[in-house]
Every structure is written in structure tokens, then in C-alpha cells.
């Protein structure tokens, strides 16, 4: 078990399987995944942040940077 910092809220997120295995969350214990955005950049986000992203438009870096930062609960 390892953790990775969410690029949206800056919290530590539990990681189960390999980062490259996007869809392992269906069976496993990973609390986030790596998203490739429309502009080609990649971010690791927890599910809370993914839920906060719009699903009716292309997600860009600006959306990720606009996510609330929860690092002060660390
Ligand atoms: Zn997050």
C-alpha cells in the first residue's frame, strides 16, 4: 500500500494497484486515479476531486487548479 498526493486537493490518497492500471478501482482499494486531460497533461486526482469536475465539458488544467485545496487537514 502506498499513497500519492492528489493534484487537486493536495490530500494523500491511498493507492492500491499500479498507477497505470486505471480501471483497477473496480476491484481494488485505490482512492484515486490518473486522468489525462484534453490538453494532454496528466493529473492524479482522488475521487472527491473527480466528482467535482464537470462531466458535461472537457476538463482542462484550469478545472484542476480550481479544485479546493484541503491540505490543511494533513
Ligand atoms: Zn483530491
For residue 69, give the DSSP letter: P
pLDDT mean over 31-57: 91
The alpha carbon of 22 and the centre of ligand 1 are apart by a number of angstroms equal to 16
What is the reported pLDDT for 53?
93
Alpha-carbon Rg for the chain in angstroms: 12
% of residues, the chain, pLDDT over 90: 49
Name the residues around ion ligand 1, CB cutoff 5 A: 6, 8-9, 46, 49
The alpha carbon of 25 and the centre of ligand 1 are apart by a number of angstroms equal to 16
The owner of cell 492524479 is 44
What is the reported pLDDT for 71?
64
pLDDT mean over 19-48: 77
Amino acid at each position: 500500500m502506498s499513497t500519492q498526493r492528489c493534484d487537486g486537493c493536495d490530500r494523500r490518497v491511498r493507492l492500491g494497484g499500479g498507477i497505470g492500471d486505471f480501471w483497477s478501482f473496480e476491484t481494488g482499494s485505490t482512492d484515486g486515479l490518473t486522468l489525462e486531460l484534453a490538453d494532454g497533461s496528466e493529473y492524479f486526482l482522488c475521487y472527491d476531486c473527480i466528482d467535482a469536475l464537470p462531466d458535461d465539458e472537457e476538463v482542462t488544467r484550469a478545472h484542476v487548479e480550481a479544485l479546493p485545496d484541503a491540505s490543511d487537514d494533513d
